[in-house]
Amino acid sequence: MKRTLLFVAIICSSSFAFAQKTTYKVNTQTSTIKWEAKKVVGGHVGTIALKEGTIQTDKGKITGGGFTIDMNSMACTDAPKLTGHLKNEDFFDVPKYPTAKFVIAKVDNSKTTPIITGNLTIKNKTKAISFPAKVTSTADGLSAEALGVKVNRLDFDIQYRSASFFSDLGNRAIEDEFTLDIQIKATK
């Protein structure tokens, strides 16, 4: 009898643990990514959309996930004519690399604001990046916000007008880092 009760208790606790794990589907229509790139004089801002993505949680904390970024959706909102240049081989070479990816590798949930570390792939080059992300549970899903995520374009072989490679650019140089403000909305 004791063995039967122990077996039932183990099955029930295992079922409860699995019930705590949830996979959320990213809503690509309500999720946003805004980017900002700076030059010696000025800078530009724009948007880019997600193509698809998922977030995995365990007991309400992010444990994994990944996103596919639609590089064709990239837009420079303050100078629309620049969008075409960003998509050519000087920058992201979108005809050859129409998507980028981010895959969560680990999450440090020991802090109030979790630190997410993942692998960002742009132009078939992958680099690990880490950033804090505020996560909020909602009735039907979750939202995650990461502001000022720094990405070094040189890690992805984007050297156009980089003072790190070309010393004679003067005020035409573009900074090597750009930033992303990411707002993710996901549902069960």
- CATH number of the structural domain spanning residue 51: 2.40.128.110
DSSP three-state, residue 149: strand
Taken in order 67, 108, 175, 126, the sign of the CA dihedral is negative
Any domain includes 112: yes
Among 107, 113, 97, which residue's Cα sits nearest to residue 130?
A: 107
**Is the separation of the CB atoms in 86 and 95 below 8 Å?**
no
Q: Per-residue pLDDT tens for 124-136?
A: 999 999 999 999 9
The total number of residues shown for the chain amounts to 188
Any domain includes 2: no
Q: Per-residue pLDDT tens for 95-132?
A: 999 999 999 999 999 988 999 999 999 999 999 999 99
Running DSSP on this structure, what letter comes out for residue 114?
Answer: P
Which domain does 38 fall in, by range? 22-187
Any domain includes 12: no
Any domain includes 104: yes
Burial of 127 (C-beta count, 10 Å sphere; 0-12/13-18/19+)? middle
Where the chain has pLDDT below 50, the residues are: 4-9, 12-18
pLDDT value of position 85: 95
Q: Total domain count for the chain?
A: 1
Any domain includes 161: yes
Angle, CA of 86, 102 and 111, to the nearest 5°: 125
User: What's this model's pTM, rounded to 2 decimal places?
Assistant: 0.86
Any domain includes 176: yes
Any domain includes 1: no
Any domain includes 3: no
